[in-house]
Structure 1
Amino acid sequence: MLYFDHCASTPPHEDVIQTIAEVMRIHYANPSSIHQAGADAGNLIERARGLVAKLFRTKPEEWIFTSGGTESNNLAILGAARQYAGRGKHLITTMIEHASVYETFQQLEREGFTVTYLPVDEFGSVSAEAVEAALTDETILVSIMHVNNEVGSVQPIADIGRLLADRPKTLFHIDAVQSIGKLPIDIAGWGIDLLSGSAHKVRGPKGVGILYMKSGLKLHPIVYGGEQERSMRPGTSNTPSIVASAKAFRIAIEEAEARCSQWRMLRSRLIGHLDGIQELVLNGSAETDSAPHIVHFSYPGMKPEVIVHALEQRGFVVSTKSACSSKDDKPSRVIQAISDDSRRAASGIRISFGSEHTEQHIDQLAQAVRDTVAELKPLERRN
């Protein structure tokens, strides 16, 4: 079985597995305890925090460990909006954000905030000009994902950051869950105030996220009951997974340039194959302005789960949309925003690469897609 669903989760790196086992076996004390065993565990967490900070050229105290990308996004957005509501109650995001961002803004609307959801172009990109036009004196937060988790569109984060540079009361949050280890990130240079990441997207363990919070900022907590993580994320720290996650981020970022080049070649090869299948429609851009590890297409008139299971029977694991929403049979909000085509939005398939994939794997996958389309063609819905 060939696994092409790396956007949903990744196979953990062997070094990560070994690290978890070693730390779990030796450093099982609560890292908040005052005895030496607790202090040893706590020191490991601080070393992991320092490593993450070094990778992003930031300060260790600017990083918080969470339970994953969803919690990091929730804490960044809810925490910032509620903390700084006295400055204003206008927020800006896009129509294509991950559910952990999009639905968090919907919650803030219920709390009395006003949210502007920016549209995107046919490739899934928002413009800095659209952000600028939406800004008001009441805007306290702009949240834009770096890489879209469905179609792989890359947003102009540097341009938006420059736009917000002279607005110190407007915070800039980036969901970087799908870009860490795939594309360069310049937190200081892009004027980022808050940034979310997730370990299991970079061959780390599930259950660990990271949140960058620029020095001087405060966030209103969304969980209570302890002083861990500067009281921003109370609860017993998961020492083994945090330490292993730092290692996963290090490996992913150090290998990113080489991996990115390989993925771009594989992506171009796969798109070339799929272009020859007239029933399919590519979503996102075929050019290098998209993330290197994602290909997304639709088969209008065909249920995506039928395609997923047909490909699985041929030995290939792919997905429909975000794993967080994959069991929801509603059309993709992202594809709807790109195309305004409900049939296209209801039939999307996402393919995402990993370091194990080769040109031969791509050719085999393309043939499996071709055979699947031929098999399903008589069943195509014409409604």
Structure 2
Amino acid sequence: MSNEMHCDLAIIGGGLAGGLAALALAALRPDLSLLLIERGDAPGGNHIWSFFDGDVAAQDRWLVEPLIAHRWPQGHAVIFPGYRRDLPTPYNSVTSVAFAVHLRSVLGDRLLTGVDVVALAPDRVTLADGRTIRAQAVLDARGPGDLSALHCGWQKFVGHALRCDAPHGVERPVIMDASVDQLDGYRFIYLLPWDDHTIFVEDTYYSDTPDLDGAALDDRIAAYAAARGWRAQSVHREQGVLPVVHGGEFDRYWPASDPVARAGVRAGLFQPMTGYSLPDAVRFALWLARQPLDGLPAATRAHARAHWRQGGYYRMLGKMLFGAAPPPERWRIFSRFYGLDPALIQRFYAGRSTLADRIRILCGKPPVPIRSAMRTLLNPPG
């Protein structure tokens, strides 16, 4: 077996960003030879990625349509103390199983799994088994970079898919059920009814720390299910900790001295306030398909730097959430937000808030004290 392989583009990391980039290039740039290299046994890991219909432009929908495992055309709901609101925007979920099946089908032997990367350069990849991949360009999509360069809160969660003995009675996704006890910051339950008897239940926190007590959250999910009267067995489990970025230095997160192109969370391409990355991953994949491989490191860094600048408003909101709102009261910020126009809410999640949206979100009776908010904006949390 030769110790050297060759391709035009090597993509390192088979998560959402790397996988979507590979799919876009396979469809739009069939002239390019590419390799998608994933250290796990399958691309995508153990995840569910969800999105609203408006998050992906109609002309771009073809890229994610084959990946959708569940769709709710009737819209979704939110629940807060004192009220429930049903919103009309359809909702979709991509499972890592559907993601992996489609990637294998499209890429075939262009997908390498179970492969550890030990070194990257702009034109080559060194694998742990001693092989070298020579490439015209290399794209690093391996997940978060140096988070110490950023000021972060954390969105952390444990989710279980529960198979119930009887119909669970939930007809549409519940994006936030914040009627639960408020613990460790802003807490809510996220519900995805996969079928009449199967429901995904996620216990989620906007917290000051990334510490995750998985066993405690398992118990809280079981208690929530029991309170709903669901006699159920867990058939799937996942957990995660996502950064909610409210400050920091882009040039430290991605130093100009790093000569390798980046994608996804490693490039800072996500909505800072939510940690939500699918809309940016789709946009980046289709942008990438239009770029020449020559000069890709500089082009991807310029793209990501522009995204960082555009995210300043969302980072400001994050400063207010984590710096000005007492943890037990953070739910009030989201409760007020979800009383606004559904189209505004949709643009917010897509990272496409207009100037009018931004003013509307901040105007009116504030959910946090003005003095605390101003003090936080002038002296952001570390």
**Higher strand proportion, which one?**
2
Q: Structure 1 length normalisation: TM-score?
A: 0.24
Normalised by the length of structure 2, the TM-score is 0.25
Work out which structure has the larger RCO, using CA pairs closer than 8 Å and 6 or more positions apart in sequence: 1
